[in-house]
Amino acid sequence: MLSSDNLLIKTIKGHVHQFSAETDSAKIGNSHHDHYLSGVTGKAIIIGDGNHIHRLTTQTVLGDHQHDIDLYTGPAIPTKGGRHVHKVLGESETSRNHAHKLNFTLPDEVKKECKPKPPHKCPKLPQPTLPEPDDRCPFPTPNLDCPGFPQAGTCVPAAAGFKAKQNVQSKVERLAENMVAPSVLTTTFFEIARRFFAGQEPTTPVEASIYNVLNDMSPDVRDICRCALNSIAAIPTAQKNRLFSPEINANTVFSVENLANLLAEEIVQIAGQNLMNDPTALTNPRPGRMRPTRGTPEFPGSIDPFIYFINGIRTIQAVRADQPTAEETERECVINQQNQQVCTALTENCPGNSNVFTNPDNPVCFLVQQVLPGDLVVLQGAYYFTTEAKVIMTNKDNPGITRELPTIVFGDVDTPVYDDQGNLIDDERVQDRLLFAIPEDLPDGIYSIVVEVENTNQQAGPVGVYTSLPEFLRVLPPPSTTYQILAESLICVENTSGPGSDEVALNFFTSLLVRNPDTGNIDLTPLTSQEIRFGGLDADESRVMNYAPVQAGNLFGVVISLQGFEVDNEDLYKERVSDFEAAYKAGLESVWAQLASSLTSAVGSAIAVAIEAAAAAASVIIAAAAAVIVAAVALFYALWAPADPIIEDNIGLTLVDLATLTDNSTPMPPQVQYVTPQEIRVVVDSLSKNIEFRQLRGFISEEEESLYQIIFRYSRI
């Protein structure tokens, strides 16, 4: 329920509300059901005019499945006796391909929020003399009997009088729980550092580049690096295996080819999670379940496949007789006299499907998504019962232009064939997924797409070739525009808890995917980093940045990783933290630069099923590379630094994303929310669109009780 107007919120100590309610009903198959929910809201959150709202997070508790609920109440509405209530309007998270609407009022009885007593704090001990690494092990064995072993980020101790910091254990536990794949980049840096401190000679250019960085360290910074190695050794084995690549050890040869393949595996796992909801999906295809036909011996039923979602947006086959949402409809947009974008739903002359037959009194056109040659498209549906499924694309205006495309299928083996009432489940609850690439030489235009599957097993159902109903995509001509992404300003809505102002270190890591004019391949550019520092930030203050991490043409995609830390002790940060940070960044950039030319082909090779498009591997990189860098930087800081994360984000944009965001004729994207590996809640909201697109990205840290925002501007140059 947050919008760009009330996202400027700040957290305060205060009251909470208990609640119990029921959801609206939703339909699965031929039956309707609802759910019961109860719980306690979060503490009061101040908004404009001195009013407040609450965050409400819970899970439904009735039925054979559950829905997560995470939204914000409306503002307080006064009642008798100085009390107040809140309206709750929203929707649950999707489960089994449906969600429930919520519409109820929180009771006016409020309860004081209880705070546990702070734990006993042990006095800080002097930094111990750390043992030298044992070159028989990938990381040194810690001296666990030493009372001064760093347990709370004390490789660089927090200065007296500054805010208490999150400890190493809590940071590492959080990352281990949320990381999709172990970090190859962080493991590479610290394994090479271990070899350096053990006196071994570098044997490859990759090792030599990290050795050059380590040789430039001061003695104090080298001690910090040794301390970080001890922190790694102290991590429990189960967590360590989730954080650090087990493929990298004392015997690893850090050749460019070997390292590119390891990093490609990490990227493909993250892309599999992002695209197909499973890290193994791109390398281990599997068929979906065959579901019995709905026919009789005299009139055999069909096992035609269905397309219920395209890139996560419902199609007419999923919406059926219901009215589609604004996001699911084709809309025409103009800029009015007030310089505001106004969009209206298209109701006739549809470029794709229309619901005119199911809803003749209120017809609308269904959305035709835009794609570029080389883009990846994910379909979700049912009856993708073979990994040999194909997608047929046919030009709507020129049917002679048609392509038969290979796919990667990752079938749903969890959703049952029948529900509890014995009804067949073959609707949008089924999550068979299929991935294909738009051919790079395909002319622009509107194309129908159908899924084609062949059944050769007579025991499973009628033998034959089966085809889905058509959906539609709009293939755009590749633009040659130069794009700029500008970070306009940083807004501190609520600074971190505890006394004193915030000292913020904001790091941008950027890599671009560009088409090589000589080879025609998609290449990944070297990683660049930029730190912007802000001192003395308090609530309701802002700072101008005007930093452009991206300004380039000939783009295929953009990868931006964003990390922000509250560092408190400015002098200490400058003297010691920034030196080690600079060393790690230099090492990261050096490794990335050596791998960049090999990574696209390595990612393509890591995908078991060829999808016959070199650019498709680049699309996989766009979807995952930003997350790889975020994880590598987050893990690096968690091991040793006293700085605490308050901003974290990974931004992966394809060329069609950039083209759409800066096109006045397309609607502004809806609000989205997600949680990062370090459990920073990111809220992305559209602000305005008139040639330039302005976007607000909010970063909420429950751990630090902080809210920061960055305003981005996207434009064509």
Give the span between the Cα atoms of 668 and 686, in whole angstroms: 6
- Residue numbers of the chain with a pLDDT score lower than 70: 1-14, 29-31, 48-49, 61-64, 81, 109-168, 293-301, 519-521, 568-578, 604-619, 623, 640-643
Query: What is 306-475's CATH number?
Result: 2.60.40
Three-state secondary structure call for residue 588: helix
Considering all CA atoms of the chain, what is the largest pairwise distance in Å, rounded to the nearest integer? 85
How much is the pLDDT for 604? 67
CA-closest candidate to residue 212, choices 187, 193, 233: 193
Where on the phi/psi map is residue 515: left (φ > 0), alpha (ψ -120 to 50), or beta? Answer: beta
How much is the pLDDT for 687? 92
For residue 5, report the phi and psi dihedrals to the nearest 5 degrees. Answer: -80, -40
DSSP letter, residue 217: S
Q: Can you state the angle between helices 256-276 and 578-606, rounded to 10 degrees?
A: 80
How much is the pLDDT for 89? 86
Asked whether the whole model's pTM tops 0.95, one would answer no
Which residues lie closer than 8 Å to 188 by C-beta, 6 or more apart?
206, 210, 248, 254, 259, 591
- The amino acid sitting at 582 is A
Contact call for residues 285 and 608 (beta carbons, < 8 A): yes
How much is the pLDDT for 271? 86
Structure-derived torsion over alpha carbons of residues 483, 488, 493, 495, reported in degrees to the nearest 10: 100
Opening angle at CA 47, ends 41 and 51, nearest 5: 80
How much is the pLDDT for 140? 40
